[in-house]
């Protein structure tokens, strides 16, 4: 039993946390969120130079061969800084799909650009009526010559506006909610028939409604097995879920510390409000919620390599805990800050908003409770 970080991991923690502290303060983030592009391309390339975008990829693919723990470290630090750059979409989701399911050619042609920060890839896994079921796919891919023609709509594609390529799930066979018959395709953002409606999200990110209208793709654009994309997608979404659990832990840590500090300094009735027992107990409950979430995020990330059944159960258990903790810590941080917690000016509301969206992302608490119970 060893819960200690290795020396290399400690260096990674230092480097990401130093970046958040020195180069990604709240005002910087606010300016990024308000900017036209909604992210900083120069910072993204800096992530590439620092090697962060190469962390999970194998050394043969030019990566650093990191484990899920390295991804967890980066995501937890990004959670503390509310980083809006497309790490989750491009490195964890798209990168994860290419790593686990991509052909040698796909990896050789895409991963170097992705790791350098010059190619952003977003993943379309949801549809207007799919909710959180990854197998609920009505986008169609019909065989045409050697390739396929795609028709359908992918909803709320995070980081879609900045993506050069998409990976989308589409149905090559089967009924709308069958797990068999789903195939993943690479689609160029500029391809004929691809259109997007871009918009901001409530937590400061950007997303797109992606419409595919007779989009032609070749056989070389299939990622993973034909008709067998579901297992690949489910595995990688589990990895991404474990990663956002870590992001939530970072955000909760920051919120709890901020609230604790506020309770120590905000004076009402002649004393800091942290002297009132009701506030003390609330802060203790927030602290316990954070600690339990941190434990579960760690557990899930350590079990990503287990059998699919064990992995599924671990990830869903963690997401349930994170969902409950995130809601409690977020709401109470706002409550204890009083009116200040409601403002756009203070960072507290922004952490709360991100935690609220993480609660939904890749399935909310009800969804993962059911998935856990069924596993």
Partner 1 sequence: MDLSFSAADLAFQREVREFIAANYPADIKARFDAGLEPRKDDFVRWQKILYQKGWVAPGWPKEYGGTGWTATQKYIFQEELGAANTPGIIPFGLAMVAPVIYTFGSEEQKKRFLPGILSSDVWWCQGYSEPGSGSDLASLKTKAVRQGDKYIVNGSKTWTTMAQWADWIFCLVRTDSSVKQQEGISFLLFDMKSPGVTVRPIITMDGGHEVNECFFDNVEVPAENLIGQEGMGWTYAKFLLGHERSGIAAVARSKRGIAKLKQIAAAEMSNGAPLIEDPDYRRKLAELEIDLTALEYTELRTLARESQGKGPGPESSILKIKGTEIQQAITELAVEAAGYYGFAFNRRAMDGANEPLIGPAATAFAAPSYFNMRKTSIYGGSNEIQKNIIAKMVLGL
Contact 84, 209 (CB under 8 A): no
Contact 48, 117 (CB under 8 A): yes
The yes or no reply on residue 29 touching partner 1 (CB under 8 A) is: no
Q: Which stretch binds partner 1 (CB under 8 A): 6-14, 81-89, 270-278, 311-319?
A: 270-278
Applying CB under 8 A, among 101, 224, 274, 349 the residue interacting with partner 1 is: 349
Applying CB under 8 A, among 269, 307, 309, 374 the residue interacting with partner 1 is: 269
What are the backbone angles phi and psi of residue 137, rounded to the nearest 5°?
Answer: -125, 120
Applying CB under 8 A, among 12, 207, 249, 263 the residue interacting with partner 1 is: 207
Applying CB under 8 A, among 126, 168, 232, 304 the residue interacting with partner 1 is: 126
Q: Give the C-alpha distances (Å, rounded to integers) separating 328 from 86, 248, 347, 366.
A: 26, 12, 17, 16
Cross-strand pairs, 143: 148
Measured CA to CA, the distance from residue 322 to residue 81 in angstroms comes to: 18
Q: What is the dihedral of CA 155, 160, 163, 169, to 10 degrees?
A: -20
In whole angstroms, the minimum distance from the beta carbon of 231 to partner 1 comes to 19
In whole angstroms, the minimum distance from the beta carbon of 370 to partner 1 comes to 7
The residue among 169 and 301 lying less far from partner 1, judged by its C-beta, is 169
The residue among 231 and 342 lying less far from partner 1, judged by its C-beta, is 342
Measured CA to CA, the distance from residue 70 to residue 49 in angstroms comes to: 17
What is the footprint of partner 1 within residues 285-324 (CB under 8 A)? Answer: none
State the CB neighbour count (10 A cutoff) for residue 143: 12
Number of residues that bind partner 1 (CB under 8 A): 50
The residue among 6 and 360 lying less far from partner 1, judged by its C-beta, is 360
**Angular region, 70: left φ>0, alpha ψ -120 to 50, beta rest:** alpha
Q: Is 210 helix (H, G, I), strand (E, B) or coil?
A: strand
Measured CA to CA, the distance from residue 73 to residue 18 in angstroms comes to: 13
Q: Which stretch binds partner 1 (CB under 8 A): 21-29, 202-210, 291-299, 306-314?
A: 202-210
**Contact positions toward partner 1, by CB under 8 A?**
126, 128-129, 131-133, 136, 155-156, 158, 176-177, 197, 199-203, 205, 207, 209, 267-270, 273, 278-279, 327, 331, 334-335, 338-339, 341-345, 349-350, 352-353, 356-357, 360, 364, 366, 369-370
């Amino acid at each position: 039993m060893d819960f200690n970080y290795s020396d290399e991991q400690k260096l990674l923690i230092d480097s990401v946390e130093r970046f958040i502290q020195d180069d990604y303060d709240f005002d910087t983030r606010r300016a990024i969120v308000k900017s036209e592009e909604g992210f900083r391309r120069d910072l993204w390339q800096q992530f590439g130079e620092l090697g962060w975008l190469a962390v999970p990829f194998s050394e043969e693919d030019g990566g650093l061969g990191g484990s899920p723990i390295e991804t967890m470290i980066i995501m937890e630090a990004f959670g503390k800084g509310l980083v809006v750059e497309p790490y989750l979409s491009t490195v964890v989701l798209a990168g994860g799909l290419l790593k686990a399911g991509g052909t040698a050619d796909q990896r050789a042609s895409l991963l170097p650009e992705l790791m350098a920060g010059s190619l952003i890839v977003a993943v379309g896994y949801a549809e207007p009526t799919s909710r959180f079921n990854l197998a609920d796919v009505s986008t169609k891919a019909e065989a045409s010559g050697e390739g396929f023609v795609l028709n359908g709509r992918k909803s709320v594609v995070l980081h879609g506006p900045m993506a050069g390529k998409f990976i989308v799930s589409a149905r090559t066979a089967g009924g709308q909610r069958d797990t068999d018959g789903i195939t993943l395709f690479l689609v160029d953002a500029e391809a004929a028939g691809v259109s997007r409606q871009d918009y901001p999200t409530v937590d400061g990110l950007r997303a797109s409604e992606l419409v595919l209208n007779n989009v032609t793709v070749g056989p070389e654009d299939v990622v993973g097995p034909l008709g067998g994309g579901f297992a690949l997608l489910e595995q990688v979404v589990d990895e991404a879920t474990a990663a956002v659990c870590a992001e939530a832990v970072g955000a909760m840590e920051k919120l709890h510390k901020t609230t604790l500090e506020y309770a120590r300094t905000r004076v009402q009735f002649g004393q800091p409000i942290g002297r009132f027992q009701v506030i003390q107990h609330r802060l203790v409950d927030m602290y316990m919620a954070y600690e339990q979430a941190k434990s579960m995020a760690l557990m899930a990330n350590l079990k990503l390599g287990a059998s699919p059944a064990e992995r599924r159960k671990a990830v869903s258990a963690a997401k349930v805990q994170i969902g409950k903790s995130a809601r409690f810590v977020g709401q109470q941080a706002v409550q204890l800050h009083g009116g200040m917690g409601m403002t756009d000016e203070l960072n507290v509301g922004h952490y709360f908003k991100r935690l609220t969206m993480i609660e939904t992302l890749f399935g909310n608490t009800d969804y993962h409770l059911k998935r856990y119970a069924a596993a």
